[in-house]
Structure 1
Amino acid sequence: MTYAIIGFGNIGQALAKAFARNGIEVSVATTREPESFASAAAAIGKMIITKTLAEAVKADIVFLAVRFEAHPDVAKALPTWQGKTIVDVTNAYGVPPEDLGGQPSSKFIARAFSGARLVKGFNHLGAAVLAQDPAVHGGRRVVFLASDDDAAAAEIGALAENLGFSPIKLGGLSEGGLLVQARGKSWGQLIFKDLVKFHS
């Protein structure tokens, strides 16, 4: 299984740190040339491989960590996303719901990435919290996942566990997914909730 993070701002770097912490190789790319962020990637660790966007999207699992408005540029990188899993880490805060056709933002994004299985996840924590070691006081920091594809949600849940998090599945994008999505100028109820799960 190969992994890529598209977008290398605060959230992309926080995700990269989670991979590096667990010795899992991940490609990172932006719409810019890899040289422009190579030193930032090297500072995180040798498992963080800078690539062009065209190279990075060959990965099996792609974390979409760009600004919401930039997702169409990433979607154009492949004619079809068949066989790939997209983890939507974007937040459409400030985007008028009518611009999304009244749909949850992840459903809107899923249309752009035709053929892909889409999981909403890792987006409810601020970058500073997401970048920290998720092992907290003997528990694990929670990440919420929502998807209309149960197998994809299970796959990303297993990856989240490998990265040290405790995944909680919220159901489909139009149901539980709304708890972790922005609508216009309002945030879903679970956004920014920093929760820790303890295993008895």
Structure 2
Amino acid sequence: MSYAIVGFGKVGQALAHAFARKNIEVTVASRRPPQALAPQARAIGPTVVAKSLRDALEADTIILAVPFGEHREVAKALPSWKGKTVIDAMNAQVPLEELDGLLSSAFVAKAFTGARLVKGFNHLIAAKLAADPIVEGGHRVVFLSGDDEDAIAPVAALAKQLGFAPVKLGKLDEGGALVHARGRVWGPLIFQDLFKKEQ
């Protein structure tokens, strides 16, 4: 399984730290050329590799960590997203009318035709995402939701590999609504920094 993070701002870099901590290779890309990202990527760790957007999108699993308004530009970079898993780590701080009455991830899914979309890693601030997720014998929780159950399982496995405790919330319009930010409406689980103890 290959991984890419698209977007190399605070959240993208925080996720890159999580991969580097576990020596898991991940490609990072943004609108900027790879050589502009390379020094920061190298500083995070040797498993974090800056590439062009086109090369990054060859990964099996792509984490979207771009500002919400840019996701459609990313979507246009591939003619088909079939066979790809897209993890939506964005929060939609846009007016509700721009979302066609949908939750943000359902809106995003329309742009990534054929992809299996999972909402995840969006409810924590970047500093918490970047920090070691193992705290006082517990693992920091990340919430996952999606309409394709088969897509959630490998994302949960990745979250576990990164040291987090994945908690599945069900479909996007059910449990997923708990971690969605739309306009000025924040789901009740946004920013909840929870830990799960080992059984």
Q: Distance in 2 between matches of 1:152 and 1:61?
A: 10
Classify the secondary structure of the residue corresponding to 1:31: coil
Q: Distance in 1 between matches of 2:137 and 2:29?
A: 34
Residue of structure 2 equivalent to 1:37: 37
Q: Distance in 2 between matches of 1:97 and 1:174?
A: 15
Residue of structure 2 equivalent to 1:149: 148
Q: Superposed, which structure 2 residues align to 1:19-168 within 5 Å?
A: 19-93=19-93, 95-168=94-167
Q: Distance in 2 between matches of 1:100 and 1:183?
A: 8
Q: Which amino acid aligns with 1:24?
A: I
Q: Which amino acid aligns with 2:32?
A: R
Q: Distance in 2 between matches of 1:47 and 1:99?
A: 37
Classify the secondary structure of the residue corresponding to 1:40: helix
Greater mean deviation of Cα atoms: 176-185 or 109-118 = 176-185
Which contiguous aligned blocks of 4+ residues in structure 1 show a shift greater than 3 angstroms? none
Residue of structure 2 equivalent to 1:197: 196
Q: Distance in 2 between matches of 1:92 and 1:111?
A: 15
Are the counterparts in 1 of residues 145 and 169 from structure 2 also a CA contact under 8 Å? yes
Q: Distance in 2 between matches of 1:19 and 1:55?
A: 19
Alignment RMSD (CA, Å): 0.6
Residue of structure 2 equivalent to 1:181: 180
Shift, 1:98, TM fit:
1.5
Shift, 1:7, TM fit:
0.3
Are the counterparts in 1 of residues 91 and 182 from structure 2 also a CA contact under 8 Å? no
Q: TM-score, normalised by structure 1?
A: 0.98
Runs of 5+ consecutive residues of structure 2 not aligned to the other structure: none
Q: Distance in 1 between matches of 2:146 and 2:29?
A: 24
Shift, 1:91, TM fit:
0.2
Shift, 1:22, TM fit:
0.4
Shift, 1:35, TM fit:
1.1
Runs of 5+ consecutive residues of structure 1 not aligned to the other structure: none
Classify the secondary structure of the residue corresponding to 2:188: coil
